[in-house]
Amino acid sequence: MVKTDYDLVQGAMDGNEADFEELVKRYKNLVYSVVLRMVTDAEDANDIAQEVFIKVYRNLSKYSPEYKFSTWIIRIATNTVIDFRRKKKQEFVSIDEMETELPDSATPESTYVNTEAKSELMDAINSLPDMYKIPIVLFHLEGLSYQEISSVLGVSMSKIKNRIYRGRKLLKEAIESKKEGGSFGLQKG
Amino acid sequence: MDCKKAENLIMKYMDGELSPEDAQLLNDHIKLCEKCREEFFVFDAMMQNAAEVSKEVIRAPEGFEKAVMSKIHTEEEKQYAYSRNDRLRMICISIILCFFAIGYFLIKNKEALIAKLYEYPAFAQYLNEVVPFSQNIQSYENSALNAVEGVFSYADRLLSVSGMFLLAFIVIGVCVYGVLRFRGNRHR
């Protein structure tokens, strides 16, 4: 029988390493994806995602089964990203310096247009302050509901909704200003 | 419908919560209002790009679990070494506190103890050898012994005043030792 997340948490707390390793296997892609979309740099994302799991290990006793494990771990991931950003000095980079990876499929032209649009969106998202960026990433890229984001961030649903609305408008402004003014400096996460 | 309401409907559309009636209202509005139409298309394109990005499967790098487990092991080893040093420190503190406690007990009850020891022949003989010797020393080194006695009487007074504090230190020491031992076991 497949163990539930809570079974694995209990097992890990009793010193069963295999149970914790199973939790890491289950959630590593989710955590890495959330973190990568917030910080963009793969190396930083890897370090932060590992730190998230270490924090999870240290705080297993604080997990309550009334929340989904995914919600709890995303909360730890977002807090770790915020801490990371506080520690790290913000760097300015030009869009032209950013690298994009092209998938093998699709024609070069369509891929270029598609990748450029997506890259433009991600650049705009990364230029947002965390207050807007985190709810936008969780809602539009990770597919969390307002309710889930509210429990992840510990903020009321109405505030989350306002931040997402405001964030969308800021995104639109950033994309439009990019189109009008060409390359612009972005704050890299 | 005004542009403010149209903007709210666009947001609902982006939330995936637009009812067919509202969709019709929004459609009617953006046919007539160029500003809202442009806004709608920008947001719609954003949504489509976001949907594309969210479809991309992002996988954690190779060896992620191993890296995490290895960091946890390193941390546990550090934690264990730290708690072992803590335990050692606490054992030393506990031993010193015990010496203080025993010393305090002996000084406080020395008369009664000596009287009790005289009841045993072996100790009585030993005490008979020691006491005259100390009296002998006393006769020659009276002033020095007075000073020593002064120190002892001061220590006696001090200990009787701070007896409760001493007891409290011992209790705290034992508790800290117990907590550290428990922590050490938990992290192992």
* String of DSSP letters for B33-58: -HHHHHHHHHHHHHHHHHHHHHHSPP
Percentage of chain A modeled with pLDDT above 70: 81
Measured between beta carbons, the chain B residues lying within 8 angstroms of A33 are 58
Query: Do residue B46 and residue B124 come from a single domain?
Result: no
Interface with chain A: mutation pick from B4, B64, B183, highest number of A CBs within 10 Å: B64
Nearest chain A alpha carbon to B72: A54
Q: Hey, is A3 helix, strand or coil?
A: coil
| A12 against A95, higher pLDDT | A12
Rounded Cα gap, residues A88 and A77, in angstroms: 16
- Provide the mean pLDDT of chain A: 82
Query: Do residue B19 and residue B101 come from a single domain?
Result: no
Query: Do residue B25 and residue B46 come from a single domain?
Result: yes
Confidence of residue A101 (pLDDT cuts 50, 70, 90): very low
Query: With DSSP H G I counted as helix, E B as strand and the rest as coil, what are the percentages for chain A, rounded to 5?
Result: 75, 5, 25
Polymer length in residues for chain A: 189
| A88 against A89, higher pLDDT | A88
Whole-angstrom Cα Rg for chain A: 18
Query: Do residue A102 and residue A84 come from a single domain?
Result: no
Query: Do residue B76 and residue B26 come from a single domain?
Result: no
ipTM comes to 0.70
Least CB-CB distance to B68: which of A24, A165, A172? A24
Cβ–Cβ below 8 Å for A28 and B64: yes
Residue A186: pLDDT over 50: no
Strands A91-94 and A185-188: antiparallel
- In this structure, what token pair is assigned to residue B93? 């503190």
User: What domain range includes position B29?
Assistant: 3-55
Cβ–Cβ below 8 Å for A21 and B52: no
Q: Please give the interface size between A and B, counted as residue pairs whose CB atoms are below 8 Å apart.
A: 79
Give B145 to chain A, closest Cα distance, Å.
Answer: 60
Cβ–Cβ below 8 Å for A50 and B65: no
Give A188 to chain B, closest Cα distance, Å.
Answer: 18
Burial level of A144, CB count in 10 A (0-12/13-18/19+)? Answer: buried
In B77-104, which positions are buried (b, 16+ CB within 10 angstroms) versus exposed (e)? Answer: eebeeebeebeeebeebeeebeeebeeb
Rounded Cα gap, residues A75 and A83, in angstroms: 12
Confidence of residue A103 (pLDDT cuts 50, 70, 90): very low
Measured between beta carbons, the chain A residues lying within 8 angstroms of B182 are none
Backbone dihedral region for residue A161 (phi beyond 0: left; psi -120 to 50: alpha; all else: beta): alpha
Nearest chain A alpha carbon to B55: A141
User: What domain range includes position A35?
Assistant: 1-88
Q: Which of A125, A127, A117, A118 is nearest to A164 (CA)?
A: A125
What is the number of structural domains in chain B? 2
Give A51 to chain B, closest Cα distance, Å.
Answer: 8
Q: Which residue is listed with tokens 């989350």?
A: A160
Measured between beta carbons, the chain A residues lying within 8 angstroms of B57 are 29
Question: Could you tell me if B67 lies within 8 Å of chain A, comparing CB atoms?
Answer: yes
How would you write the pLDDT of chain B (188 residues) with one tens digit per residue?
788 899 989 999 998 888 999 999 999 999 889 999 988 988 998 888 888 888 888 899 998 989 999 998 888 788 777 677 777 888 888 889 888 888 878 777 777 877 787 788 777 777 777 766 556 655 665 676 677 777 777 777 766 666 767 777 788 888 887 877 666 555 44
Query: Do residue B176 and residue B88 come from a single domain?
Result: yes
Confidence of residue A54 (pLDDT cuts 50, 70, 90): very high
Cβ–Cβ below 8 Å for A168 and B14: yes
Measured between beta carbons, the chain B residues lying within 8 angstroms of A46 are 60-61, 64
Question: Could you tell me if B134 lies within 8 Å of chain A, comparing CB atoms?
Answer: no
Cβ–Cβ below 8 Å for A54 and B72: yes
Least CB-CB distance to B53: which of A21, A121, A165? A121
| Sign of torsion over alpha carbons A156, A162, A163, A168 | positive
Query: Do residue A47 and residue A123 come from a single domain?
Result: no
Query: Do residue A55 and residue A79 come from a single domain?
Result: yes
Cβ–Cβ below 8 Å for A32 and B75: no
Q: How many beta carbons lie within 10 A of that of residue A24, not counting itself? A: 25
Query: Do residue A127 and residue A100 come from a single domain?
Result: yes
At A103, which CATH number?
1.10.10.10
Query: Do residue B38 and residue B70 come from a single domain?
Result: no
Q: How many beta carbons lie within 10 A of that of residue A101, not counting itself? A: 5
Nearest chain A alpha carbon to B11: A165
Q: Which residue is listed with tokens 């199973």?
A: A22
Query: Do residue B9 and residue B26 come from a single domain?
Result: yes
Is residue A168 within 8 A of residue A133, CB to CB? The reply is: no
Here the contacts of A40-44 (C-beta below 8 Å, separation 24 or greater) are A40/A122, A40/A126, A40/A188, A40/A189, A41/A188, A41/A189, A42/B61, A44/A84, A44/A88, A44/A189
Query: Where does a domain end: A88, A120, A153?
Result: A88
The β-bridge partners of A93 are A186
In A117-142, which positions are buried (b, 16+ CB within 10 angstroms) versus exposed (e)? Answer: bbbbbbbbbbbbeeebbbbbbbbbbb
Query: Where does a domain end: A88, A106, A134?
Result: A88
Query: Do residue A99 and residue A124 come from a single domain?
Result: yes
Interface of B with A in 23-42 (CB under 8 A): 39, 42
Is residue A136 within 8 A of residue A167, CB to CB? The reply is: yes
What is the number of structural domains in chain A? 2
Whole-angstrom Cα Rg for chain B: 42
- In this structure, what token pair is assigned to residue B165? 């504090």
Q: What are phi and psi of B77, to 5 degrees?
A: -60, -45
Query: Do residue A117 and residue A185 come from a single domain?
Result: yes
Query: Do residue A127 and residue A184 come from a single domain?
Result: yes
Query: Do residue A157 and residue A94 come from a single domain?
Result: yes
Is residue A141 within 8 A of residue A60, CB to CB? The reply is: no
Query: Where does a domain end: A49, A66, A88?
Result: A88
Q: Which of A107, A104, A126 is nearest to A185 (CA)?
A: A126
Measured between beta carbons, the chain B residues lying within 8 angstroms of A121 are 46, 49-50, 53
At A22, which CATH number?
1.10.1740.10
